[in-house]
Amino acid sequence: IQELLRLMRTIDDRIVHELNTTIPTASFVGKVDPGQTCKELYQSLMDAHTNRERIIKNCISQTSAIVKTLKEEREKAHDDASLLKQLRKEQTKLKLMQSELNVEEVVNDRSWKVLS
């Protein structure tokens, strides 16, 4: 999931480049509509942010459900070491996804500040 998010954050990583290529130079002012181009860039950024947040929250939801199920199973079988190991693994994964949500907020804020 982290690799997927990294790829999906490309638009944010390249926002300055995108703005530089979106705003036409004096020689291209008549050939390109900067308002429309900026509007398209804005919409692309909004879509990217929405999609990434949806993916992260979906992963959090699924992982939370797995953790809940494992905790319930753990209560029934206290001595099952493999169950405990699996529970710890899923809890770590859940914390990672929650931290990705925080990273997403920082990335989004940075992009909007550049775009403003």
- Three-state secondary structure call for residue 41: helix
Q: What is the mean pLDDT of the chain?
A: 86
Query: Average pLDDT of each block of 10 consecutive residues along the chain (116 residues)?
Result: 81 78 64 76 89 94 97 89 94 95 91 82
Which regions of 48-92 does DSSP assign to beta strands (E)?
none
Domain ranges, residue 98: 1-21+33-115
Most distant CA atoms of the chain, gap in Å: 74
Is residue 41 assigned to a domain? Answer: yes
So what's the pLDDT on residue 66? 97
- The number of folded domains in the chain is 1
Is residue 86 assigned to a domain? Answer: yes
What is the rounded CA–CA span in Å between residue 5 and residue 102?
13
Is residue 26 assigned to a domain? Answer: no
So what's the pLDDT on residue 26? 61
Is residue 12 assigned to a domain? Answer: yes
**Is 12 exposed, middle or buried (CB count within 10 Å of its CB: 0-12, 13-18, 19+)?**
buried
Is residue 78 assigned to a domain? Answer: yes
Is residue 105 assigned to a domain? Answer: yes
Task: Give residue 36's identity as a one-letter amino acid code.
Answer: Q
So what's the pLDDT on residue 38? 79
Is residue 28 assigned to a domain? Answer: no
Dihedral Cα 65, 69, 70, 75, nearest 10 deg: 140
- Whose tokens are 């300055």? That residue is 16
Q: ∠ CA(35), CA(42), CA(22), 5° rounding?
A: 50
Per residue in 8-35, pLDDT (tens digit) is 888 888 887 777 776 666 665 566 676 7
Report the Cα 4 to chain-centroid distance in Å.
Answer: 9
Is pTM beyond 0.95? Reply is no
